[in-house]
Amino acid sequence: MTTLTNANFRSEELTQKLVASIRAITTRPWNIMEICGGQTHAILQYGLDQLLPAGIQLIHGPGCPVCVTSLESIEQALKIARQDDVIFTSFGDMLRVPGAGQDLFSARASGADVRVVYSPMEAVKIAALNSQKKVVFFAVGFETTVPSIAQSVLHAKRNGITNFTILPANVLVPPAMHAILSSPENRVQGFLAAGHVCAVMGYWEYEPIAARYHTPIVVTGFEPVDILNGILMTVQQLEAGMHTVQNAYRRAVTREGNLTAQGIIAQVFEPVDRNWRGIGLIPLSGLGLRPEFQTFDVHEHFELGHETLAESPLCIAGSVLRGVATPHDCPAFGRQCTPGTPLGAPMVSSEGACAAYYRYQRVKA
């Protein structure tokens, strides 16, 4: 019998023990940011924020790949998807994200061949079966997703599948943490680092960040017990005036991370500057294909151009993603903006803070 099933980390008994410990050690208010949108959803789904002492405020971070993918990338995706000889493939979340006008779903309704895939490897298989078509994969996601995309590119190269390309839009967590902590509007005092990003990358990269900004960082998993354990360890550090990197997700994460996966990433990708939707340009916060893999970059095959596009004037997604506003601060929340008619990406994604508030009924009276 294994202890590794998620059920072990949803135990009510352990949850209560952890909440009691957090209550016992908390002497003053603390602002803690969970980076990952998956954690935001778990926190709201299980009502963990409501179990904490009143002073502990959880700030929702930018860890929603769909939310931070730039308008420009989405417009490029739409432009590519509308070509007759293209099969455009993407993770499902991306399809309903509004661009400046259309989304990928409506492009599909107008006749574009847009397909949802669970894994980028499926896109490579589609390419192998449709050699007369250009198969493009929308490469979004953080370090968790990058090994799968890098490995798919390697698989395509090894097997001579030349009609497979990617639209590179991947982003990295550490540069975003730098951007948040160095901002004058920052109010984050401690971080829950994203456990599955760390499963791949380890957590050594966070040690200079914790030291430089005097901010504790605790690697945290996704089940209620994991999240509360991460919060407990962060509060312990804050109360003691410490700022180290600790690991509350040891069954999945080591300090070094998965070195094979990191090697696969480094073989295919290199850091590039990237524009984050709602946040702006963050230096070296994205990944682009290395020169020897350039032929897998869709930009080599299509003239896509660069456009400056305007967001909905009502939407405050940028402030939500930077952790300076909550969905409740938005006058459009639940009115003009709902999951059915989203104005911004955080209302669409299964990791977006606005969708989490809407879904779990956090409606202010």
* Chain positions contacting another protein, by CB under 8 A: 2-6, 8, 14, 17-18, 20-21, 23-25, 27, 36-38, 63-66, 91, 93, 118-122, 140-142, 144-145, 147-148, 151, 154-155, 158-159, 194-197, 199-200, 222, 225, 229, 250-253, 257-258, 260-261, 264, 349-351
CB of 121 to another protein, least distance (A): 6
* Nearer to another protein (CB atom), residue 58 or residue 332: 58
CB of 8 to another protein, least distance (A): 7
CB of 21 to another protein, least distance (A): 5
* Nearer to another protein (CB atom), residue 118 or residue 241: 118
Distance (Å, whole) CA 356 – CA 331? 17
How many other β-carbons are positioned within 10 Å of the β-carbon of residue 52?
20
Query: Radius of gyration (Cα) for the chain, nearest Å?
Result: 21
Q: Which residue has the tokens 């099933």?
A: 5
CB of 251 to another protein, least distance (A): 4
Distance (Å, whole) CA 63 – CA 207? 19
Distance (Å, whole) CA 63 – CA 37? 5
* Nearer to another protein (CB atom), residue 213 or residue 352: 352
Degrees, nearest 5: CA angle 327-169-217? 55
Classify residue 144 as exposed, middle or buried by CB count within 10 Å of its CB (0-12, 13-18, 19+). Answer: buried
CB of 219 to another protein, least distance (A): 12
* Nearer to another protein (CB atom), residue 197 or residue 347: 197
Q: Which helix (H) or strand (E) holds 36?
A: strand 30-36
Distance (Å, whole) CA 79 – CA 83? 7
Largest CA distance in the chain: 65
How many C-alpha atoms does 11 have within 13 Å on its Cβ side?
10
CB of 196 to another protein, least distance (A): 4
How many other β-carbons are positioned within 10 Å of the β-carbon of residue 360?
14
Distance (Å, whole) CA 17 – CA 352? 29
* Nearer to another protein (CB atom), residue 39 or residue 76: 39
How many C-alpha atoms does 192 have within 13 Å on its Cβ side?
35
* Nearer to another protein (CB atom), residue 39 or residue 275: 39
* Nearer to another protein (CB atom), residue 200 or residue 287: 200
Distance (Å, whole) CA 49 – CA 45? 10
* Nearer to another protein (CB atom), residue 163 or residue 213: 163
CB of 110 to another protein, least distance (A): 26
* Nearer to another protein (CB atom), residue 158 or residue 364: 158
CB of 227 to another protein, least distance (A): 13
Q: Which residue has the tokens 């509060």?
A: 235
Classify residue 184 as exposed, middle or buried by CB count within 10 Å of its CB (0-12, 13-18, 19+). Answer: exposed
CB of 25 to another protein, least distance (A): 6
* Nearer to another protein (CB atom), residue 20 or residue 109: 20
Q: Which residue has the tokens 């308008």?
A: 71
CB of 135 to another protein, least distance (A): 16
Tokens linked to 244: 């180290």
CB 327 within 8 A of CB 346: yes
Return the DSSP state at 167: E
